[in-house]
Structure 1
Amino acid sequence: MTRHAIYRGEVVTPEAFMALAGADYREAGRYPACPACKGRLEPYGVHSTTVASRFDHPNGSDCPLSSTPDKRYAHLSPHAWDPDGGTRLFAEFCQPENLKSAYMVCKSILGHLTGMEFQRLCFQALRWNVFSYRGITLDILPYILVTLADFSVDNDRKHPIRVVLSKPKGPIDALWLHPEQCVLRFFFADTGNPMRRPELPIPYPEAESARNDTAWISKRLYEFLEECCKKHRQAPASG
């Protein structure tokens, strides 16, 4: 359930959508899209005097904005959206030094992070349209990225890790509006039980200090970091 959708490239409310698309939107095939998952939405309650109007996802959707979100992504619910700003932020994120800095922040938070894992975080951010959250900043992005996937056991990681964002009740906007009220907590990804690792404040001083420690990043590692950006630029534009 969400109060916002994308229609003709603009963010609309249910009322604004009905004004633009008309009552025969179904017959004409004019549907709004979810700002997060980009799936088709249905307006609900626009003619009711007793319920608040909203957009609904199809039954069974795991989108963070649906009524049945995947619990891992339920925190990905912003107050508002900015598609044009998201395009600009992604372009800024994909600048070489910004990519390297984002990787270093994520690596510092986790203690160990492969190029392939960072690539997966980037694709997940695109999947849920994280870059289009209104007001989100480049500096805060890594603190969201680390919450978008589980990290499996490998030669440098003894236990599967899940990072969870703890924030005041409400939209994720608190992360960039009041970061001092948010922390990152660590859980075993296979059981969901909390780890003994201490929670990390946002911003995390050690991660912030690591932002500029990028000189050691090899050409091979950087190729993994930029893969998401390259593939996204090459992908055909969707309707």
Structure 2
Amino acid sequence: MASVKMLLLVAAVKGWHLHQMDVTNAFLNGDLSEEVYMVLPPGLDSSGKYKGKVCKLRKSLYGLKQSSRKWYVKLTETLIKHGLKQSPCDYSIFTSTVLNELGVLIVYVDDIVLWSIRLEAIKDVKNMLHADFRMKDLGELSYFLGLEVTRGKQVIIVSQRKYCLDVLPESSFESCKPAPTPIFNKEVLSSSGGELLTDISEYMHLVGQLQYLTTTRPDITFAVQ
């Protein structure tokens, strides 16, 4: 997220173009180097000639532990083959320099954002990706990793309004009253007081959502932490 913020800042100041793409069924592009077998899919007759049989996978598949890694390896090899360089500081960032002008690609699983001062450079990268993968061109950047991006003159506004509105009903807070600081001012917390939660998964999920919300809402950082 620090890399995304930094690149958005540079794009705002220097007037870079921002476009985004989505990979269709990204994990299916991965190549397996080890032998992986799976049970027969539902609907395939396992009582007839397929009885006692299993499937040997030729390509990566959703549900495999190594699917995300195999997809990332495939994408990295493809980008490097076409002349992009992987950042040694953040492996999700790839850069290209054409005519002494910098172009940047950042990827998160199957979401890709392209930065460049030249719109033609972005189109070239899009064509390259379309040639190797099934891609969906989403046009100018507007929504990425739960961040809503609005472009202005030398300014880019980033918010998580939709993300926040999705969190509220999930935690039964649709009708809550807004407060400048979302914490009880006089609350005294103790490590030995209160009742232990029987299931902490819901609590952990909510805390994770709130931590991600601090990306654009630093004012709630103290309360969340």
TM-score (norm 1): 0.25
Decide which structure has the larger Cα Rg and report it.
Answer: 2
**Higher RCO (CA 8 Å, separation ≥ 6 residues):** 2
More strand by share: 2
